[in-house]
Amino acid sequence: MGSRDDILRAVRAQTLPDKPAPSLDQQWIRYDDRRTQFATVLAGVGGRCEFVADGAEAARKLMEHPAYDAAKRVASFVPEITRGNVDLATIGDPHALEDVDFAILRGEIAVAENGAVWVTDAGVRHRALYFITQHLVLVVPASALVDNMPQAYERLQFTGPGYGAFLSGPSKTADIEQSLVIGAHGPRSMTVFCVGD
């Protein structure tokens, strides 16, 4: 405990004048057409967004994905689209997900400002699925589309253990001469289906 007390004591020794926390309740950006904004920004970062009426339409659109036809292992948490052929209940070790081609999961919130989708590991036994799959499909209720990040955080609660992330587009890198390469370590594509009105 020595270092803990040293550090806290050293910090406390610097008595700084109290500065109040600023208000986050401000006029943040809003969009007349959130759908177009979200889809445009997501496309700009290499993702794809489709607005669909229901799961059946999403399933039809998924068939058009150039890599879907050849996919051997599909893990799905969205039975309205597909049941997939990976039984996640039987997989105890996330390493066994190495050869998953498509993962279809639910997103909770979509953010128009930056094309991000909030996902969590609640009910998803292995969060590795989001990153280890070759292609990622997220299904979000269209009603969960918000304007900006402050609105997104208003809806989020962090009350216990868990993992959550904003995902915006496929995994990417520009570390070789600033040339953009899609598919760094994680998914090579990201498709978002916004379902309903």
Partner 1 sequence: MNHPDLALAFIADKPRAKWHDETLWFVRSKRDKAAWQLPEWELLRETAAAIKAHTMSHLADYLEQFESQAQKLGVKVHWANDAAEHNAIVHGILRERGVRKLVKSKSMLTEECHLNPYLERHGIEVVDTDLGERIVQLAGESPSHIVLPAIHKKKEDVGAIFHEHLHTPEGMSDPLFLAEAARQHLRDKFMQADAALTGVNFAVAETGGIVICTNEGNADLGVSLPKIHIACMGIEKLIPRAADLSVFLRLLARSATGQPITTYSSHFHGPMPGGEMHIVLVDNGRTDLLGSDDFRRSLNCIRCGACMNTCPVYRRSGGHSYESTVPGPIGSILAPSRDAKKHGSLPFACSLCGSCTDVCPVKIDIHHQLLTWRKEIAHRGLLPRSKSWGMKVMSRVLRSPRLYAASGWLARKVVPKLPRFMIYNPLNAWGKRRELPEFPRESFREQFERRHGK
Q: Per CB under 8 A, which region of 9-17, 48-56, 65-73, 77-85 contacts partner 1?
A: 9-17
Is 137:103 a contact under the CB 8 Å cutoff? Answer: yes
Q: Under rule CB under 8 A, which residues in 126-165 are in contact with partner 1?
A: 126-128, 130-132, 148-150, 152-154, 156, 158, 160-165
Sign of CA dihedral 82, 83, 84, 88: positive
Least separation, in Å, of the C-beta of 63 and partner 1?
A: 26
Alpha-carbon gap, residue 58 to 45, rounded angstroms: 21
Nearest distance from residue 101's CB to partner 1, in Å?
14
Interface positions, 72-131, toward partner 1 (CB under 8 A):
94-95, 98, 111, 113-116, 121, 125-128, 130-131
Two structure tokens written together for 47: 């993702």
Strand-pair category, 116-120 with 109-111:
antiparallel
Check binding of 186 to partner 1 (CB under 8 A): yes
- Taking CB under 8 A as the binding criterion, the range among 26-34, 48-56, 57-65, 77-85 that sits at the site for partner 1 is 26-34
How near is the Cβ of 182 to partner 1 at its closest, in Å?
Answer: 9
Structure tokens at 48: 């794809």
Q: Which stretch binds partner 1 (CB under 8 A): 25-33, 50-58, 65-73, 81-89?
A: 25-33
Specify the length of the chain in residues. 197
Q: Decide: is 33 part of the binding site for partner 1 (CB under 8 A).
A: no
Closest to 168 in 3D by CA, of 140, 141, 196, 128: 140
Query: Encoding tokens for residue 17?
Result: 């004048």
Query: How many of the other CB atoms lie within 10 Å of CB of 185?
Result: 9
Closest distance between partner 1 and the C-beta of residue 74, in Å? 19
Q: Does 29 bind partner 1 (CB under 8 A)?
A: yes
